[in-house]
Structure 1
Amino acid sequence: MPSHSLNTTIPMFKPGITAQHERARAEFATFNIGNLDAMLVQPFPAFCQEMRLTFPADIMPAMERLTGYSAEKYIAVTHGERAPIHAPAAALAVWSMLCCYYGRAYVVSPYMRTWSTIESLLIQVAQLYPVLTRHLTFSAHAVHLDCTPARRIEWLNPQEFTEAKLASLKGCTSFVFVDGAEHCTNGFLEALRAAMMPGQPLLVSGVPVSAGGAFRAICEEPGVKRIRLSALDAANANRSQLESLQEEHREESDYYRSFILGLFPKS
């Protein structure tokens, strides 16, 4: 075996082989937000088609309303316990950051399901556009583009939420998604709604467990598009479990109205 000093350069490749390391370094150094926008900016339906994402027919018009040029971008979804809307909302969050000029997204939820779906979708996008992997920075609750950190998705930490943070959500290209509105305080939902700008996309969803409160007020506000998703129509519906619940709780009961049909209780 030949011996080498610690400072001796050892050839890696045979003579005549052109290494492309400089090309990779140059591509990394010259990548900017203009390159990204030229590559990714597109309408939301086109993004879903490229990613091969399909959602229920009654959901897509609402998603398109949130992404189009409209002054009315407030959507409220009441759903049964097993019929959440986090998957299309996660797609909209990824689209907002990557495919929308100056876009960003914020998730308000005690659940990890939306954030996990966002991470999975970003992996899919990176498979289509590998250069993107060099310019995304992840933390436990957020992801942003290195070339423009304002382009970000953030799963808001309830322990760190402040009035200043609430003000930072404001912006016509900032998509805000509330997943699990039934768990939010009335004070928070009222403050969030008051902070939103006209034309800012806001999607509030939850199981309608209370006959009153801020969630219902948002659902019944003029100009808010309301959608109801029954657990009976959910793609992953457990029919036998639903039948058992139907036997246990009368169809006219408040429990059945809220947790199965996605309707507000009568009392």
Structure 2
Amino acid sequence: GSLGTLVKLPREIRQTVFSFALDIDIDRPVTNKTCCSAESTKRERDACKKHGETQVKDAGRFNLLQVSKKVAEEASWVLYNQGRLRLDMGCALRPYFAKYRPKTTRRLGDVPHSEKVHNMWMAVARYRFVDLEINPKMLKTENPEIYTAQLCEAASLLLKSWEKEAKQPTSEIPHIVTVNLGDFFDSTVPFNADDDSDMVEEVDLWTVINFPGEPPDFRRLAASSCQNLKRLLSIVDRNRGRSEWKIVALSEIEKEGGAKWLKTFRRDCQRSGVDFEGRTREEVEME
């Protein structure tokens, strides 16, 4: 397969054409599926409203990559070097951790050998711009000890995948990763559950979902969650190579519990050489 008449255009112009065709835009990142996943059965995948049998097969955003081998080669370069991938740390991504645990902050362990899991992380490794994101729903309903641990796992798998993937972005800084914590430090659970009398119903509902037996020790939960974030910084600090990492989070924290932990975390970021970018509430809500 060739480039056809596109071969008459300079490479830079072709890249612009491919960028437009692939709808590469900083405000429209590529996202992981939040419906059918690696653990879905064929029946579940076929029934998926977004990716199932009823969907039009030739209406995908990236069908340009199937036009020809040469087009795929050049268009893929545009996608992976200019496009942004956003990984939502929600339930749909969890099967792709496949019980992975980094051995230590220095020894990351291998990418899981499950074909679907391995292929997903190796595809992620080709993107230059990657966002790891905790979505607002998770902050309200899920256990922070779990999703902060998953951030460590995601970072470790990303770093390990870079080691294994031969087709790397060609820029001097090959990878730029943004970890978006949203309004994590302002969340009722785990930082303000014991003190926020206005959120009793929300805390009760969260407890029923996550600890149906008896309420947890929220102070311990806060400490453990922040220890996971500190571990994330350590993993990045020891393994990032030439990549750049940045943490973004709401920094306008009025409640004492979250404000104290945020101050400690910002100090940890500085020690690890990881940029921290504070966001206003308006900026967080717009993302």
TM-score scaled by length of structure 2: 0.32
RCO comparison, higher one (Cα < 8 Å, 6+): 1
TM-score by length of 1: 0.34
Point out the structure with the larger strand share. Answer: 1
Larger radius of gyration: 1
